[in-house]
Amino acid sequence: MKPILAMTMGDPAGIGAECCVRAAAHRELYDWCRPLVVGDLGVLMQTVQGVGAAIEVRPVASPEEIPDEPGVLPGICETQLETGTWQYGVASAACGEASYQYICKSIELALEGRVDAVVTAPISKEALHMAGRMYAGHTEIFGEKTQTRDFAMVLHTDKLNVIHVTTHVSMRQACDLISRDRVLRVIRMANRAVQEMGVEKPRIAVAGLNAHASENGLFGAEETESIIPAVEAARAEAICVEGPLPPDTVFVKALGGLYDIVVAMYHDQGHIPVKLSGFKLDAQTNRFLSMQGVNMTVGLPIIRTSVDHGTAYDRAGKWLSNEQSMIDAMEMAARIAQNRNRKNH
């Protein structure tokens, strides 16, 4: 049975709906999954017209009504945004609340076992906060709604996997949050995440926090006090892990094939190399030729993947967006769902 993937439409004022529609226009996608978008019917219909996609958005009341029909994008319509209450490229409380409702509905369906995975389009944290939803991002919403305390963000391209010890906090806070127990838990999650991608014995590299991984404490104590003890504990559990390694070269080694995943200590340490390896921009048209990359939240009781880019307000409503990251996120969600299903049976 092909997995059912619930796609959240993301912030209506961004490019999320366009990414969903453009992805669904790829007929081969229906060979390996059954897509379901959770969003706003009016916005989706407007998007189909705007991009000129040869697909039909068909409202359904539940996942059980999904037709297995290429060219038909079934949608659960959680909102009916009124004209004049929002506009492309502008953060608003209306769009922040709408994007939050799409996420909550998708999580509910996944926890009930009615969809196999959730694939999220980008949201605006500013709009989310304008709506009174004071979350740092998707990851924190999924953690709260699934009652999960231990989770982490993984970024994936076909060349590089990165998991993060800390994410949406200041640099000062990130340093304070790095502990032996947190690093060890993230190493364990990294091991499981790559196994679910199909690698039996993952090779894990742990990046240092400080320059040159502190050179035995010369440039900071985090490596000796937190990271090294975590790596040693993981090795005692028979996890194949090395580190801490100098952050300026560890990603080059991973791209060269020495490691299956890198444990990054903070947000930009992991995001920059992934986006450099997966994104390509045409400077003449200012359009991304490639936006390869998948964002995953690991440690949850459900499967969640996401595009690896933001709302792109500057492009919203101009019909210039690239759907590759959404397709990649759907492929990864389907692969993990199928691997879990085989393991459970």
Segment holding 205, helix H or strand E: strand 204-207
Cα gap 263→251, rounded to integer Å = 10
Mean pLDDT within 259-263: 98
Band the pLDDT of 344: cuts 50, 70, 90: low
Q: In this structure, are residues 22 and 323 in contact, taking their beta carbons and an 8 Å threshold? A: yes
Fold agreement between 1-148+300-345 and 152-298: yes
Predicted local confidence at residue 4, as pLDDT: 96
Band the pLDDT of 68: cuts 50, 70, 90: confident
Predicted local confidence at residue 82, as pLDDT: 87
Predicted local confidence at residue 279, as pLDDT: 81
What would the pLDDT profile of 106-163 be if each residue is shown by its tens digit? 999 999 999 999 999 999 999 999 999 999 889 889 999 999 989 999 999 888 999 9
What would the pLDDT profile of 73-82 be if each residue is shown by its tens digit? 999 998 889 8
Band the pLDDT of 345: cuts 50, 70, 90: low
- DSSP per-residue string spanning 62-121: SGGG----TTEEEEEEEE-PPTTS--TT---HHHHHHHHHHHHHHHHHHHTTSSSEEEEP
In the block, residue with structure tokens 């090294």 = 228
DSSP state of 32: T
* Paired tokens of 248: 């300026």
Whole-structure pTM value: 0.86
Q: Is the per-residue pLDDT at 31 higher than 90?
A: yes
- Fold type of domain 152-298: Isopropylmalate Dehydrogenase (3.40.718)
Predicted local confidence at residue 220, as pLDDT: 85
Q: Which CATH class is domain 1-148+300-345?
A: alpha beta
Q: Is the per-residue pLDDT at 219 higher than 90?
A: no
SS3 150: coil
Q: Beta strand pairing status for 152-156 and 161-164?
A: antiparallel
What would the pLDDT profile of 10-28 be if each residue is shown by its tens digit? 999 999 999 999 999 999 9
Q: In this structure, are residues 213 and 223 in contact, taking their beta carbons and an 8 Å threshold? A: yes
Mean pLDDT within 33-42: 96
The angle at the Cα of 240, spanning 238 to 242, to the nearest 5 degrees, equals: 125
Q: How far is CA 129 from CA 11, 132, 171, in A?
A: 13, 5, 21
> Domain locations in the chain?
1-148+300-345, 152-298
Closest CA to 115 of 82, 74, 159: 74
Predicted local confidence at residue 288, as pLDDT: 73
Q: Is the per-residue pLDDT at 211 higher than 70?
A: yes
DSSP state of 3: P
Prior bond to 12 cis, omega within 30?
no
SS3 323: coil
Q: In this structure, are residues 334 and 5 in contact, taking their beta carbons and an 8 Å threshold? A: yes
Q: Which residue has the higher pLDDT, 199 or 289?
A: 199
Q: Beta strand pairing status for 304-307 and 117-120?
A: parallel
Q: Supply the mean pLDDT for the chain.
A: 93
- DSSP per-residue string spanning 251-315: HHHHHTTS-SEEEESSHHHHHHHHHHHHEEEETTTTEEEEE--EEEEESSSS-EEEESS---TTT
In the block, residue with structure tokens 């409202």 = 59
